[in-house]
Amino acid sequence: MADWNPTSWTTKPIKQDVTYEDAEGVQTALTKLQQLPPLVTPQEIVNLKKSLRNVALGKAFVLQGGDCAELFDYCNQEMIEAKVKLLLQMSLILIWGANKPVVRIARIAGQFAKPRSSPMETINGVTMPSFRGDNINGYPADAISRRPDPSRLVSAYFHSAATLNYLRASLTSGLADLHSPLDWGLGHVASPSIKEKYERIVNRVTDSLRFMRTVGLDTARGIETVDIYTSHEGLLLEYEQSLTRLLRHPPNALPESDLTSPSTRKASIASTSGTPPPRGYYATSAHFLWIGDRTRQLTGAHVEFFRGLCNPIGIKIGPSMAPDELVALLDVVNPTKEIGKVTLISRYGAKKIADHLPAHIAAVQKSGHIPVWQCDPMHGNTQTTPSGVKTRHFSDILSELKQALAIHREAGSFLGGMHLELTGEAVTECVGGAGGLTEEGLSERYTTFCDPRLNEKQALELAFLVAGFYREEMEESNPI
């Protein structure tokens, strides 16, 4: 890609950019980031691309979830473990339901910056910059805290690194070991019939694990640990550019002149077994980055930056996206039509999905692109209560997912995953679900700094229901 480099985005118009007063501080922070090691490796990124290719071909399912806006304070043991355990439980249920491997991607270790509809807001009569995320400014409602601070860019790196370090260490130490008992926590389910249904699924999953252990099929690495990839919206391009690295040759590859003996040659081949990452530029702030609905302009800076990356990328698509615009966007970011390179994250809303998704699917099918189709049932279903609290209704979230499954099936397409804002904590931010949370109960533990998230019980329930949809679909297509 001769006409692209990591800085070419700076020649394009940009949305959601940040204006810093301290230009010298910005340059100091970016120089520091350029000198720091990558957060993830090209080999890990390539492994995820292989898995997402399988999702695009209908051979796997992707579960992506985590906080709406990650805070530096979320970098602690309990919160990291809670997210990992929740994603693990959800993925086990989905494996049972869809009868396919599940690719796990967390919105973690970098999901700090958030797009905002307005750069400024007025609080208690004082106008100040909007909170843009912990890597840009502070949440406290005062002019000093809200001033964009470039030193937060470096803080974001180190909080991401610490989160990743504990995530890797805990996974290799057995946090995700399926030999360990899992607490499915169904005590919140008030309806006996629903609870019985969920318990049947749990029993089937645990029976399958018990059977594998009995016959000795649980010795593979997949039973002892899992791969969990990291992701965030690639919003702050200065940060992403600073952590973009050029891979000139495969890791551990030795020049031909260094292969001086058979033993050296053998060691080199062994260390590069498998498919090495191809040459190119890798955004090493996360395994997977996505372009938001507000920054997907065809000739804009974000599309320009993303089109040169070797990473798998996501694109949020909503009601304002015309079908021909979607195809043109795919042609720009994936001109070779690499299968699974792009994940289309649809976010229409339960009331609008039927009006837009069929045309988007048809246009993509006609274009020859084979992306991963993923449903984000959160962002199009945000509401505000009469008292001014942002929330989402569990029934709307479920409805959009169910409609997406049906529309894809009718079109001969495959809905390969779901993208959720969730937390492993017992928050009260979305109403509904088997626990019966009402708008009056939102104030009990409403802790989000941005959009409302599913709590751990609601997220688990959603996994049960989606697994049930896939199970019913399989039974209908394969009647006994």
Nearest CA among 51, 64, 62, 59 for reference residue 99: 59
The CA-to-CA distance between both ends of the chain, in Å, stands at 52
- Please report which residue ranges of 381-436 form alpha helices under DSSP H: 394-410
Q: Which two tokens stand for residue 217?
A: 């099929």
| 379 marked as part of a ligand binding site | yes
| 369 marked as part of a ligand binding site | no
Distance CA 76, CA 78 (A): 6
| Amino acid at the residue 347 | R
Distance CA 276, CA 253 (A): 10
Q: Which two tokens stand for residue 473?
A: 């679909």
Cα three-residue angle 94-100-106, rounded to 5 degrees: 55
CB 20 within 8 A of CB 302: no
291, 295, 297, 301: CA torsion to nearest 10? -90
Residues with Cβ within 8 Å of residue 393, at least 6 apart in sequence: 381, 383, 430, 431, 432
Distance CA 182, CA 129 (A): 44
DSSP codes of every residue in 431-448: BBTTTTB-GGGGGGS---
Cα three-residue angle 282-80-55, rounded to 5 degrees: 50
| 316 marked as part of a ligand binding site | yes
CA distances to 32, 71, 129, 156, 347 from 19, rounded to whole Å, are 19, 21, 10, 18, 29
| 310 marked as part of a ligand binding site | no
CA distances to 62, 64, 177, 213 from 208, rounded to whole Å, are 21, 24, 15, 9
Handedness of CA 212, 214, 215, 221 (dihedral sign): positive
Residues present in the chain in total? 480
Distance CA 264, CA 246 (A): 26
Handedness of CA 295, 299, 301, 307 (dihedral sign): positive
Cα three-residue angle 468-228-303, rounded to 5 degrees: 95
In the chain, what is the greatest distance between 2 CA atoms, to the nearest angstrom? 76
Q: Which two tokens stand for residue 49?
A: 């691309």
Distance CA 154, CA 137 (A): 13
List the binding residues for Mn(2+). 68, 379, 421, 451
List the binding residues. 68, 107, 316, 347, 379, 421, 451
List the binding residues for phosphoenolpyruvate. 107, 316, 347
